[in-house]
């Protein structure tokens, strides 16, 4: 079922938003200091292409990791995250117009939240059971 969901997702918004994430990653990678943000954005961009069958969870980390993630999230949210979140919110509204599009709108809303806080998150395969 996730294959069908991913194909529909890719056609109706996933492709565009995945490219948006990768574009933000390329812009971050141009500067040497932006490479950590670029790595996270490429990873989430790949997730944005095919999100069904995978999920986002908090990455376990120590206090130093949590502090670094908080600073990284703040910088990312101010520079690129709000643009990506806005794109996901617009796509969510367009998907929610139909009943069939509601699961896709919900996924866009999850990705909009992730747009602000990409550090400290991990993408895992969903449990099929």
Q: Of 71, 75, 83, 78, which Cα lies nearest the Cα of 23? A: 83
**Angle at CA of residue 119, ends 24 and 83, nearest 5°:** 35
Q: What is the rounded distance in angstroms from the CA atom of residue 66 to the CA atom of residue 121?
A: 11
Entry pTM: 0.84
Residue keyed to tokens 């991990």: 122
Q: What is the rounded distance in angstroms from the CA atom of residue 48 to the CA atom of residue 111?
A: 8
Per-residue pLDDT tens over the stretch 59-114 = 776 555 677 778 888 988 998 899 999 999 999 999 999 898 899 999 999 999 99
Kindly state the tokens that stand for 40: 């996270």
């Amino acid at each position: 079922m996730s294959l069908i969901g991913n194909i529909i997702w890719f056609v109706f918004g996933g492709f565009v938003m995945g490219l948006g994430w990768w574009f933000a990653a390329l812009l971050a990678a141009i500067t040497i200091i932006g490479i950590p943000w670029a790595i996270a954005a490429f990873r989430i961009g790949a997730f944005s292409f095919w999100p069904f069958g995978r999920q986002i969870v908090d990455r376990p980390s120590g206090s130093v990791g949590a502090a670094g993630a908080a600073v990284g999230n703040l910088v990312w949210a101010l520079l690129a995250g709000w643009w990506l979140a806005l794109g996901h919110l617009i796509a969510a509204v367009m998907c929610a117009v139909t009943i069939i599009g509601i699961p896709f709108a919900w996924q866009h809303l999850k990705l909009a939240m992730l747009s602000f806080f990409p550090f400290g998150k991990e993408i895992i395969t969903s449990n099929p059971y």
